[in-house]
Amino acid sequence: MIPAQERLIAALDVPSTDDARRLVATLGDAVSFYKIGMELLMAPGFFELLASLKADGNKVFVDLKFFDIPETVARAVRNLSERGADFCTIHGNQSIMEAAAKAKSGTTKVLAVTALTSLDQGDLDDLGFRCDIADLVLSRARRSLAAGCDGVVSSGLEVERLRREAPRELICVTPGIRPVENRLEADQKRVMTPSAAIHAGADYLVIGRPIRDAVDPRAMALQIQAEIAAALNTAGSPS
């Protein structure tokens, strides 16, 4: 069972680690799971921030979407495991996923990226993927579990089908969450509200801008936590 408090993963999509620390301090006990990614990796103090978040009792999702030869990805996952990362993300084929899964240790879970929430069917066609997005996501999910990965990153729009057709042990981490229905940003094309994503079967919700850019980030985080708790109570916990 996943504690309801941990289902919200607040994305620290900010320019510097100082900005990240200020946002964490503002959120206080409203959030206990954080995502740190590529933007912060390019700033000084990325791994010190990771260590600090862990030392304070938080969980950390390191979202760097590793995509390289299998041995390189395996070494990167191994290093992250030693640093205490709870989740990490990978791209790639079966051999890359298998290498990452074998390299993880401790509490680190490896998540395969399916289709970015910034992509729609037209984008996939442009990239040469001649298949439906939902079919692609389901295929990636099945292959990731066969490779030994723990789960996938998937839009909420595909989670319901994953829950019907993929094994129950699959962890579903869902980005593209927006508290207000039909609130779209230019680079997010497949989005869903927190309540709808939980009802669809998402385990964790990654939410960045709606919290970061709120007039009161802590109040927004608490509002989202309440929406998650209410959705769990009405739908039954998906895990």
67 is in an annotated binding site: yes
86 is in an annotated binding site: no
* Distance between CA atoms of residues 145 and 136, nearest Å: 14
208 is in an annotated binding site: yes
Whole-number Cα distances in Å, 198 to 43, 123, 186, 219, 227: 33, 26, 24, 20, 9
56 is in an annotated binding site: no
What residues have CB less than 8 Å from 194, skipping those under 6 apart? 177, 179, 205, 207, 224, 227, 228, 231
Number of helices and strands in the chain (H, E)? 11, 8
* Distance between CA atoms of residues 141 and 134, nearest Å: 11
19, 54, 68, 123: the active-site residue: 68
63, 86, 150, 203: the active-site residue: 63
* Distance between CA atoms of residues 173 and 189, nearest Å: 17
Active-site residue flag, 63 = yes
66 is in an annotated binding site: yes
Q: Which residues face 11 on adjacent strands?
A: 35
188 is in an annotated binding site: yes
65 is in an annotated binding site: yes
64 is in an annotated binding site: yes
63 is in an annotated binding site: yes
Query: Are 198 and 230 in contact, with CB atoms under 8 Å apart?
Result: no
130 is in an annotated binding site: no
19, 65, 102, 123: the active-site residue: 65
Three-class SS state of 38: helix
Active-site residue flag, 102 = no
133 is in an annotated binding site: no
Active-site residue flag, 135 = no
Annotated binding-site residues for substrate read 13, 35, 63-72, 117, 178, 188, 208-209
Annotated binding-site residues read 13, 35, 63-72, 117, 178, 188, 208-209
**Mind telling me the catalytic residues?**
63, 65, 68
